[in-house]
Amino acid sequence: MPATTLAQKIIGRAAGRSAPSAPSAVAGPVVTPGEVVTARVDLAMIHDSGGPRRVEPILRELGVGLWDRDRVVLISDHFVPGDTEEGAGILALTRAWAAENGVAFHDGEGICHVVLPERGHLAPGMFVVGGDSHSPTGGAFGAYMFGIGATEMAGVLATGEIWLRVPGTILIEWQGRLGPGLMAKDMMLALCGRLGMDGGQYQAVEYTGPAIAALTMQERMTLSNMAAELGAQVGLIAPDRVTAAYIEAAGGQPGAWQGLVTDPGAALAAHHRFDASSLAPQVAAPHSPANAGPACEAGAAVDVAYIGACTGAKYADLAAAAGILQGRRPAPGITLLVAPASRRDQDRAAREGIMGVFEAAGARILPNACGICAGYGADRLEAGITCISSTARNFKGRMGDPSAQVWLGSPLTVAASAVAGRITDPREMMGAA
Amino acid sequence: MGRIFRLGDDIDTDQLAPGRYMRGGIAALAAHCLETVRPDFARIVQPGDILVAGRNFGMGSSREQAAEALRYLGLAGVVALSFAGIFYRNAINLGLPVLTASDVAAVEDGAAATLDPVAGALRLAGGAAIVLDPLPENLRAIIDAGGLVPFLKARFASAATP
Ligand code: SF4
């Protein structure tokens, strides 16, 4: 069997190429980068913004229903809590559609990319599409998951199929180990700075190396999530025991994951090597994640510190930020906002005293939803505000007024910056700098 | 016969569908298509004309309007050395022929030509032809139908009448 990449293995299986009856010499998923194949979709995830309100008119035009309601998961997050008239209307439509179509529906339970694996919907080797640009998050579980627009999603919901061009693999290898004060977010901002927002070339990025293996599942999700900012189609991480343990705890079935790796000697589109041990906390200046540089050199004064989004408000992110905020308060005049990425993560954080730390620090706790990251609700950044944010994107005007200045950093950096009132290397508050 | 518009590398979605005109609907948006590289483009382009570009055509955002604007203007298709991934998806799904070629150096701006996506050829008026990589069968079916939605419509209509 030829040496193949993880991406080739999953796509090959989904495209029906891994003929089990073929002689062993040619058995295995032989799809070649550049080739266009049609693949069967194992699962389709949609949310309130790009989901029912956009796909239902197309399904109606086609005159068909869902190809398999058991393979569709709907999650409300972009317009939760429905604090605008438009948002309330969209949520009502979403709920009615869910009831009518009988799909799995997680309503107001958190952000789709976090809720999907948390409820055991993902497993290694699955071929999954999501109606959202951060769908690569699922790659952390060894699933080939990518984002598509509403028209294509309607096609998937009607047929269970989608075409794709088999990507090459860009292997991003992280040697060493993250030091104290460093998080997966710092790795991603560094990568955005080094490779640029089109460095991923719509290929399959795969993260590998000892620094990746040492990360928790939620930290790995941050890496896969921001494969979107690299312009990759997916951000894969080969499954291991950490993956399997997470899925089992979530009530899912990890299945046979052991062979799901990129074989040594498989042809790669590129192979980048980085050292996690020498990385310093990173921030990205307005208005692009690619404007990355060391946090200690930024120095900008901030008005708002935002711990939110699928990228930066999971349990692991909340726990990290609370470590800084324990016994500290934001500098005078600084607004600290915390929007835990899921209700489950918030409940766990509450049990462990983490939410108590935020409350003691005077933080405003926002709903388990996209919130200011999507900028669709009543809470938005006002004109002239400078914000340090644990989210993935700082495009002009995304989180509010176009004059707002958004810096990106890890949850640790956001917490430390809130305390100092200016962008700060969190190691200054950890006795490690 | 259409006319060839020659473009360089890295034509991005903001050049094809400028963000500041996104709210005005596709007709208003298409009127500004490519104006930053060819100010007169939207005014002089005729149905059947062909874009011939370099590497990474359609890079940038995932906005479908980039391909939609070209469809709206009646372009017969785009030939390029390579396409950005999401633009390529959007173009196929909107029924805009997008074809790669390994060499377009011989194609001159303003030349008359016809695009034959089925045979995989760009036929120049003088008789010469540029060889294009053929579209895979599954994508050609979508292009022939005029895009993903019409393709699926036809598929479900024929399934309903056995
Ligand atoms: S939290 Fe932000 S990045 Fe994540 S899905 Fe919501 S809008 Fe997108």
- What pLDDT is stored for residue B62 in this prediction? 82
Ligand 1 geometric centre to CA of A375 (Å): 10
pLDDT of residue A28: 53
pLDDT at site A23 = 41
Task: Determine phi and psi for A288, rounding to 5 degrees.
Answer: -150, 140
Q: Is B140 on the interface with A (CB under 8 A)?
A: no
Residue A175 in 3-state DSSP? strand
- How far does CA A298 lie from the centroid of its chain? 25
Q: Which residues have C-beta within 8 Å of that of residue A53, sequence separation ≥ 6? A: A90, A93, A94
Contact B113, B123 (CB under 8 A): yes
φ, ψ for residue A354, nearest 5 deg: -70, -45
Structure tokens at A284: 């990205």
Q: Is the pLDDT of residue B81 over 80?
A: yes
Identify the CA nearest to B24 among candidates B57, B72, B59, B95: B72
Q: Please say whether the beta carbons of B116 and B96 come within 8 A.
A: no
Write down the pLDDT at residue A29: 55
H, E, C per residue of chain B: CEEEEECCCCCEHHHHCCHHHHHHHHHHHHCCCCCCCCCCHHHHCCCCCEEEECCCECECCCCCHHHHHHHHCCCCEEEECCECHHHHHHHHHCCCCEEECCCCCCCCCCCEEEEECCCCEEEECCCCEEECCCCCHHHHHHHHHCCHHHHHHHHHHHHHCC
**What's residue A433's pLDDT?**
41
Contact between B84 and A202 using a beta-carbon 8 Å cutoff: yes
Q: Which of A47, A49, A111, A221 to mutate to test the pocket of ligand 1 (most atoms within 8 A of CB)?
A: A111
At residue A171, the 3 state secondary structure works out as strand
Cβ contacts of A233 on chain B, cutoff 8 Å: 85
Summarize pLDDT for B108-146 with one digit per residue, the tens: 999 999 999 888 999 999 899 999 998 999 999 999 999
ipTM of this predicted structure: 0.89
Alpha carbon nearest to ligand 1 atom 6, residue = A370
Q: What is the three-class DSSP state of A102? A: coil
B48 contacts B89 by C-beta, under 8 angstroms = no
pTM: 0.94
Residues in contact with ligand 1 by the CB-under-6-Å rule are: A 77, 111, 113, 132, 134, 309-311, 370, 373-374, 391-392
Q: What is the mean pLDDT of residues B40-50?
A: 97
> Is the dihedral angle over the CA atoms A97, A102, A104, A107 positive or is it negative?
positive
The answer to whether A165 contacts B85, with C-beta atoms less than 8 Å apart, is: yes
Of all residues in chain B, the percent with pLDDT exceeding 70 is 99
Structure-token match 């047929």, residue found = A159
Of B56, B88, B156, the CB nearest to A64: B156
Q: Which is it for strands A282-284 and A405-409: parallel, antiparallel or unpaired? A: antiparallel
Residue A72 has, within 13 A of its CA and on its CB side, a CA count of 27
Q: How far off is chain A from B127, nearest CA to CA, in Å?
A: 30
What lies within 8 Å, CB to CB, of A10 at 6+ separation is A29, A125, A126, A127, A143, A144, A260
* Per-residue b or e along A324-340, where b marks 16 or more CB atoms closer than 10 Å to that residue's CB: bbeebebbeebbbbbbb
Q: What is the pLDDT of residue A25?
A: 41
- List the structure tokens of A298: 């930024």
pLDDT per residue as tens digits for the range A205-243: 999 999 999 999 999 999 999 999 999 999 999 999 999
Q: Which residues of chain A have pLDDT under 50?
A: 19-27, 432-433
Q: B3-42 burial, b if ≥16 CB within 10 A, otherwise e?
A: bbbbbeebbbbbbbbbeebeeeebeebbbbbbeeebeebb
Are B84 and A198 inside 8 Å of each other by CB?
A: yes
What residues are paired with A336 via a beta bridge? A305
Q: Is B93 on the interface with A (CB under 8 A)?
A: yes
Asked if residue A221 lies in contact with residue A246, where contact means CB atoms within 8 angstroms, the answer is no
Q: Could you tell me which of A293, A318, A350, A299 has the C-alpha nearest to residue A218?
A: A318
Q: Which of A391, A395, A406, A408 to mutate to test the pocket of ligand 1 (most atoms within 8 A of CB)?
A: A391
CA atoms within a 13 Å half-sphere pointing along the CA-CB vector of A215: 32
Task: Give the whole-angstrom CA distance, residue A173 versus residue A271.
Answer: 7
Indicate which residue's Cα is closest to atom 7 of ligand 1: A374
How many helices (DSSP H) and strands (DSSP E) are in chain A? 14, 18
Minimal Cβ distance to A151: which of B88, B138, B149: B149
- Select the residue from B139, B148, B155 to test the A interface by mutation, using most A Cβ atoms within 10 A: B148
Does residue B141 belong to the interface with chain A, where contact is any CB pair within 8 Å?
no
- Nearest chain B residue (CA) to A62: B153
* Residue entry with tokens 């640009």: A133
| Cα B23 from Cα B29, distance rounded (Å) | 8
Under 8 Å between Cβ of B57 and B78? yes
User: In terms of CA atoms, which chain B residue is nearest residue A57?
Assistant: B149
Q: Would you call A34 an interface residue with chain B, using a CB distance cutoff of 8 Å?
A: no
C-beta atoms of A202 and B85 within 8 A? yes
Average pLDDT estimate for B66-89: 96
